[in-house]
Structure 1
C-alpha cells in the first residue's frame, strides 16, 4: 500500500452505565468517521467502568454472543471502518473473566481476538489495584492484517513488556487501548509509548480512559498517535474526544531504511 491510511483513537471517561457508554462511543466514532478515519480504536474498559471490580461480571459475554459485540459489529458496519474494540469482559470461569480486545472489519465481521496477557497490580498509599483478582491471564500473542500492513494487539499493562511486541513480528501499527491510572500514567505512559514505537520502528496508536470516573478512579488520558521515529503526531490530554492522524507507508519505509535496526537484530 502506498497511500496514507487515516486512524483515530477514542478517549472516554466511561461510567458504570453501559448504555451511556454506548452513546458516547457511537458519537465519538461517528466524529472520527466524519474526519475520514478508516480504523478507529476504543479504550480499555470502554463499555463498563463499574463502582466495584466485580461489576463487570454482570456484563461478561460468551465468545460469539452479546450486546457489546453486536454494538461494535454494527458500528463498524454502519461507519464502514475497521474497529478495534478496546476491551470488554468475556466469560472465563465462575470467579474470573477475560479482558478481551475484538477487531471488526468494515463489513462488521470479527477478524481477531486478543485476551490481555499481562495483568496490572499496583499498591501505593490509598491506591490498590490487582486485576488478577477478577481477570484470567490471556496466553496468545495476536495480530491481524489491515490494508496498510500488520497490526499488533496489546492492552494497557502489556505496554511495559517489550518482549510481547518482538513476538508479533514486524508491524506497521501497534494498538494500545488502556486505562492507565493517573499516578502511573503521569510517570511512564508517554515514555513507554514512544519507546515501543522507536524500538519496533512502527506507529503506535493509544486510546485511553481520561478523567475522573463516577467510581472515584482517575485515569491519565493522553491518547496519542506516535510515529516510527518516536514523534507524537497527535495527543489529547484529558476528557472525551479523539486523536487522528495518518499511517504513512513512506514514513515507515524511510525510518526503517535510514536506520535499519530491525535488520541489525541478533537475538
Structure 2
C-alpha cells in the first residue's frame, strides 16, 4: 500500500487545471492499492467569480464526474483536496473535500471547518474565506484499505483539537490538502504537520498548491510524515508527486510502545 501527494499550480479555469491534473496522474506509481491526495482548491483557484461559476451541488456536475472517472481509470483511491460546492438556499459555498474509491464511487465528503480570515504580510495582505464560504460542522473519519482516514483542509491544520477528535475516532492517516501562503508556509507548515503526526501517532499526507495565482503565492512543500514525525519525502517546489509505502507494523509498534491515546487525562479532569 502506498500514499501519494500530488503538487501542482492551479488557476481560475477548470479546463486548464483539468488538463494539468490529467498529465500528472499519468506519472502515478504502478503500486496498487494507491491513495492519492490532491491539493486544496485544485479544481479552481483565484477569482471569486470563477469559484462561483465552478461550484457544483454535492454529488452532481462535470467536475465531480471527472474526479470519479479518474479514480476508476487509474484504479486508485482519490481524495480531492477541496472544490467549491453549493449550499441550497445560500449565496455562500462549502469548501469540500471528496473521497472516491477505486471504483469511482464517492465514499465520503468533508466541508472545511475553519475558514482563513486573516491578515498576512504578503502582496495580497488580506484573506477572508468567509466572504465566499460557510464553515462545515462535522468531522469525518472513514475506513479504507490503507487504514482509517481523517479528513481536514489547510487552515484546519492550526487547530489541534480537530486532529485529536480524528484520532479519537480511530484515524491512522491524517489528510492535509492545502494552499498555504508562502509567508505562513515558510514559518509554520512543516512544524505544524510534524506536530500533528507526533501528537496523534498518525501518518500525515499533505498536498499543497505551488506557485503564484494573481497576488497569492503558495508554498508547495507537499510531504508525507511518519507517525514518529519523520519526513518520509518532500517536494519543495514545482509540480509533481511524492510517495511512500505505509508501514502498518511500525504504526502499531509506535502506538503500543508509547500509548499516549490511553494516557490522556484532560477529559477526565474537565468532567470533574
User: Could you tell me which residue of structure 1 aligns to residue 130 of structure 2?
Assistant: 132
Unaligned runs of 5+ in 2: 268-272
Q: Secondary structure at the match of 1:62?
A: coil
Q: Is the 8 A contact 2:32 2:76 kept in 1?
A: no
Q: Are the aligned partners of 1:121 and 1:131 in contact in 2 as well (CA < 8 Å)?
A: yes
Local SS of the residue matching 1:148: coil
Partner of 1:184: 184
Distance 1:244 1:121, change over 3 A: same
| Separation in 1, partners of 2:259, 2:23 | 41
**Stretches of 4+ aligned residues off by more than 4 angstroms:** none
CA contact (8 A) 2:33 2:145 kept: no
* Displacement after TM superposition at 1:244 (Å): 0.3
Tell me, yes or no, if structure 1 residue 60 matches structure 2 residue 59. Answer: no
Give 1:90 shift: 0.2
Q: Distance in 1 between matches of 2:31 and 2:22?
A: 14
The answer to whether the aligner puts 1:161 opposite 2:145 as a matched pair is: no
Contact conserved, 1:81 with 1:106, CA < 8 A, in 2?
A: yes
Matched, 1:48 2:73: no
In structure 2, how many angstroms separate the alpha carbons of the residues matched to 1:148 and 1:10? 17
Structure 1: how far apart are the matches of 2:182 and 2:8? 14
CA contact (8 A) 1:96 1:136 kept: yes
Unaligned runs of 5+ in 1: none
Structure-1-length-normalised TM-score: 0.94
Q: Which whole-Å deviations, capped at 9, do the CAs of 1:40-63 have from their partners, x for residues lacking one? A: 00000001112x234200011012
Report deviation, 1:30: 2.4
Please tell me whether residue 38 in structure 1 is matched to residue 37 in structure 2. Answer: no
Structure 2 counterpart of 1:111: 107
The separation in 2 between residues aligned to 1:201 and 1:155, in whole angstroms, is 19
Structure 1 equivalent of residue 250 of structure 2 = 251
Q: Give the match for residue 68 of structure 2.
A: 73
CA contact (8 A) 1:182 1:218 kept: yes
Question: TM-score, structure 2 length as denominator?
Answer: 0.92
1:28 alignment counterpart = 24
> Where does residue 147 of structure 1 map in the other structure?
145
- Count of equivalent residues: 261
What are the Cα deviations for residues 107-137 of structure 1, in whole angstroms up to 9, with x where unaligned?
0000001000000122145411010011011
Contact kept, 8 Å, 2:154 with 2:179, in 1: the verdict is: yes
Deviates most, 220-229 or 166-175: 166-175
